[in-house]
Amino acid sequence: MTVTYVIDGAEVTDLQRFWQAIGAAVNGPGGYFGSNLDAFADCLSGGYGTPDDGDFVIEWRRHDLSRVALGHQETAVALQRRLANAHPANRAAIEGELAEAKAGRGPTVFDWLVQIIEEKAPGTLRLL
């Protein structure tokens, strides 16, 4: 039997709220299902609340609202945080991504999340 996890896009006003929304959808109020992109990818690989057989769907309702909230402005915020902790060898690349985000170009946080879901749990995402 397929388990459906529902995210309401109206509740996803920034990346922190996405972590809260996905955690609650999968593991109940206050639940955890990642708090950064790497942890989220790990959670999607299994063992953090999803069925062992991988038979689940993430239904992202009103995703268009999340797409706006997790757009270039939020991407710049996330990249600025990443830059603050970056290894010196990675700083130039992150600075380039940050400049693109500030100019309203390039992939967004929303795009990153969708890509991770599609890579780690293919066929489970339903954007409604």
**9-45 residue pLDDT tens:** 999 999 999 999 999 999 999 999 999 999 999 999 9
Look at residue 52 in the predicted model and tell me its pLDDT. 85
d(CA 53, CA 29): 23
**Does 54 have pLDDT greater than 90?**
no
Share of the chain above pLDDT 70, in %: 100
Owning domain of residue 63: 1-69+109-128
Cα–Cα–Cα angle for 123, 107, 76, nearest 5°? 130
HSE at residue 18, side-chain half, CA atoms within 13 A, is 25
The verdict on 1 and 64 lying in the same domain is yes
The verdict on 76 and 57 lying in the same domain is no
The pTM of this model reads 0.96
**Does 86 have pLDDT greater than 90?**
yes
Look at residue 47 in the predicted model and tell me its pLDDT. 85
**Does 53 have pLDDT greater than 90?**
no
The verdict on 40 and 19 lying in the same domain is yes
CATH number of the domain residue 37 falls in: 3.30.370.10
Q: How far is CA 23 from CA 2, 7, 89, 96, 104, in A?
A: 18, 10, 33, 31, 29
The total of structural domains in the chain comes to: 2
The verdict on 22 and 83 lying in the same domain is no
Residue in the structure block whose two tokens are 């309401």 = 8
The verdict on 103 and 113 lying in the same domain is no
The verdict on 61 and 76 lying in the same domain is no
User: Is the Cα dihedral 74, 71, 22, 124 positive or negative?
Assistant: negative
The verdict on 88 and 120 lying in the same domain is no
Residue range 90-100, pLDDT digits in tens: 999 999 999 99
